[in-house]
Each structure stands twice: as structure tokens, then as C-alpha cells.
Amino acid sequence: MTLPATMIHNLTLDELITKVRHRELSSKEIVTALIDRINRIDTLINAYVHIDPQKAISEAEEADKNFFDNLDKPLWGIPIALKDIIAHKGSPLTCASKILQGFISPYDAAVVERLKAAGAIILGRLNMDEFAMGSSTENSIYGPTKNPWDLERVAGGSSGGCAAAIAAGECFASIGSDTGGSVRQPAAYCGCVGLKPTYGRVSRYGLVSYASSLDQIGPVTKTVKDAGILLRIIAGHDPRDSTSFPIDVPDYPQLLTGEIKGLRIGVVKEYMGPGLDPEVKTAINNAITQLASLGAEIVEVSIPSTEYAIAAYYIIATAEASANLARYDGVRYGLRVDGADLYDMYTKTRGTGFGKEVKRRIILGTYVLSKGYYDAYYLRAQKVRTIIRQEFLKAFEKTDVLIGPTTATPAFKIGEKIEDPLQMYLTDIYTISCNLAGICGISVPCGMAQIQTADGSIKQLPIGLQILGKPFQEATILNVAFAYEQNTPWHTYKSPIAKL
């Protein structure tokens, strides 16, 4: 039975693969339906910053023509969207920044090569915080991305476009990046799945650097199985990335048994204390009860240095950003504002091209690396980072995974925190430690908060459960997430925009 074009967007990636394989849907039907939906819906959401419909439809027609020669390619003819920080040859690569407006990527990122090798069609590019510096996708030259559950609220960041596009039914799967929670936090706010792999699991070649020792590419999807499908494709060693780890990549979808009986799950007590929204806390406690009912052993664990994570992160990340963004000088590529001399040109180019938050982080990073402050700030932050990693590894000696909330609250209103950087930084309090420790983490929907509006009506906002795993144990966190997902209804809930 042929699925109506207006219903195609409701399919998961796994369902789509099956329908393409059985010739129930053609690639052209899928791509055309998705482009029509983006044209109709995205003016409300502002998730996409670039799309080339003609090229996507042409590639879909080619995929249909060569279908029988490519049955071994799991994503053959299926559209995937990219965060605007991942290189795709021939497409704009702006990182949502004025300083890169008009820049066209001359090559493909490693993850894009692997997606293409699997047969995927790169549909378009998604909105984000400028250079991935933000937690709300408000720091973008394209304007903020809005949350499909409530258009007055943020989609999260910095991969807000990735999560909003999924929640609005504007793509089946997207690829984002996570430096301090930038995949997991927007996934929690938008009610979808966000996976941050272990540092070194996925090549960073072709990912525009923010903080090189923290950045990691990861999928944002509708379901846990979809995340596993994408990770199986994009993971693996790449000699072009010196931090890429030479380790075998499991067949993640095949390992999703949903069996977690006897698994030891640690609840991080520091994640359940003051500052946690009551409805979020209730949802997490209910998730803990659910996992226990499936046979998991629940234990309490402690990561004592959690309170220092934000400070350590914003010293290390800004220091690395200060070094990485020095390449944008108006000489080699991107924006150039002429000046009286070279120094004047540098100053005018960067002053015009970088946004306020990016400038703030460059200044902070330069400061902590300067003479007299390096030891006092940067060196101490690196020591705290080492302690945090050691505390996680110690906790994993008596547990298989750790759990807690992804965010302290549901999505906040657009404009609510943009003028208060500290409050914005604190939204990542539960996700940052994962990046500092270099471990893997996933956020899955685990409940709905009830928000009363000014007119007395009630809106529902998603809540995310975060599951953290040992280095390179993505298969374990995916299976725990899958077990939880299959025994709860939250992944089936659709945003008001997805229903349009």
C-alpha cells in the first residue's frame, strides 16, 4: 500500500529504509515530499539555512534509476540533513556566522563521505549557534530556531536546527556536533534522541573546530534504533583525524535486544539535587522506576567534582576556541573588511564578522592563556578535567551506565537568557562533564512537563533522560535507551508542528 505523500514525514529512518528496500516508496517520492514539507513548515521553525531542491531531486532520480545495483547500501536514496558546521563539498559552510557568509566547502567531511558511501542524499544544512557557541540557537546570523512544541521557546543549542527539524517532521535524521551537550540538550528540549559518541569514535575531519579536545559528531534522530543505524555508518577510524581511535565498530542495530536484566545502573546524586525542576525530577524518578522494573539494579553513585565542571569547561573550551578561530583573519577565506593596514584589516574583519557571544569566548580564552594566568586558570582547569574523568571511571567500576536528567528544566523562552551568559551556560550543567571525560552519552524522551500559558491553556514540553556510558560502550547505552524507549510511550508523542 502506497503511503500518502503528506504522511511520509512521520516515518522513522528504520521504517523508511524498509519501505525503500521493498520498493514501497521511491527516493524521489521521499525527497519531494520532504522538500514540500520544508517549504510549507520551515517558515515557522527556521531549522534550515540552506537547501538545494533541484540537486536533491536529481540525486533521488539517480538513486531510483540505479536501485538494483546498490542493494548493499543501507541509506540508498534516503535524505539526511547536516548541521551547518560539517563540510559538504559544493555547499555553503557558514557555521551560522557572518565571517563565513558566502564560503563554499571545497571538500566533504569524513562523516559525509561515509553517509554518501552508504547511499544517502545530503538534503540541506541546519541552523545552529554561531561556531557552536551557545545553548539555544539564538546566536545565529539566520535568526533563532524555534521549538516545534512551543514556538515561543528555544530549540536548544548549539544543534538546535538538527533537533527542531526532527521534531517538526522536516527530516528523518540529522547529524550534529556536541562540544558540551550540543546534541543531547536540544534533543531533550525537542523530544527526540541525541547521541554523543565517545571522543575518538567518529572522525572530526571536516568538522569546523570549536574546542578540538571536546568536539564530537553525533546523530539526532526520532528513535534509538535510528541513532544506532547512523552511528554504525559514521563511526570508525580515520587517519586524517589524529584523535580518531582505531577500534572496531559494532553493528549497533543488531545489538539492540532491549534486555537489561541484571545491568547495574548508577544514579548520579549530584544530578538530582537543588536547581532541578520538580517535573523533570519526577520524570527522571519515574524512568528509574521503569528501568528497575525491567530488571536493572539501581545504585546511587557520586561524581563529586560536578560543581566544578562548568568553570573547567568554559576555561578549556574558550581557550581552544581562541586558538581555533584565529584562522579567520580576512586573508585566506570568508569575510574581508579592508583597513588602513594589516592590523586594521584584522580588527575590522573580526569585529564585523564575529557575533557577540563568539567575541566573548575568544576574549575569555585569550585571557586564560595569557602570561600570568595560564597556570592560575587553564592548567588548573585541565587538572579538574582529569579528576572528573577519574571520578567517572571509578563510578563505572561498580556500574554499567549512569543516568540522570539531560537538562535541569524544559525549554525556556526565546530571549529569556540571551542577555545573561552565566544563566545560559548553566543550562548545560548535566551534559558538560560527559565531554570533559570523553565518554559517551545519549538523551531520550522520558516525559512531558505541563506549562500553563498566559491565557490559561496548557502546553506540553518534552523532558530528556540522559544515559552515560564507559568509553566506546555506545552499544550499552543504546541498548539501555532502547529498552526504556520500547517500554514507554514518550518517543511516539508528536509536536504540534509535526501534526500540521
pLDDT digits (tens, 9 = 90+) for 141-170: 999 999 999 999 999 999 999 999 999 999
In the chain, what are the domains?
5-313+376-492 (3.90.1300.10), 314-375 (no CATH)
- Lowest-confidence range among 217-221, 259-263, 369-373, 445-449? 369-373
C-alpha 153/C-alpha 60 separation (Å) is 35
The predicted-structure confidence for 201-247, as pLDDT tens digits, reads as follows 999 999 999 999 999 999 999 999 999 999 999 999 999 999 999 99
Write down the pLDDT at residue 279.
Answer: 98
φ, ψ dihedrals at 100, nearest 5°: -115, 10
Write down the pLDDT at residue 152.
Answer: 96
Write down the pLDDT at residue 5.
Answer: 80
Contacts (Cβ under 8 Å, ≥6 apart) of 445: 188, 191, 192, 193, 462, 463, 464, 465, 485, 490, 491, 493
Query: Which residue has cell 548508577?
Result: 266
The predicted-structure confidence for 19-71, as pLDDT tens digits, reads as follows 999 999 999 999 999 999 999 999 999 999 999 999 999 999 999 999 999 99
For residue 474, the SS3 value is helix
Whether pTM exceeds 0.95: yes
Calculate the CA 37 to chain-centre distance: 22
Number of Cβ within 10 Å of residue 379's Cβ equals 12
Mean pLDDT of the residues in the chain: 97
Q: Is the pLDDT assigned to residue 305 strictly greater than 90?
A: yes
Active-site amino acid positions: 83, 158, 182
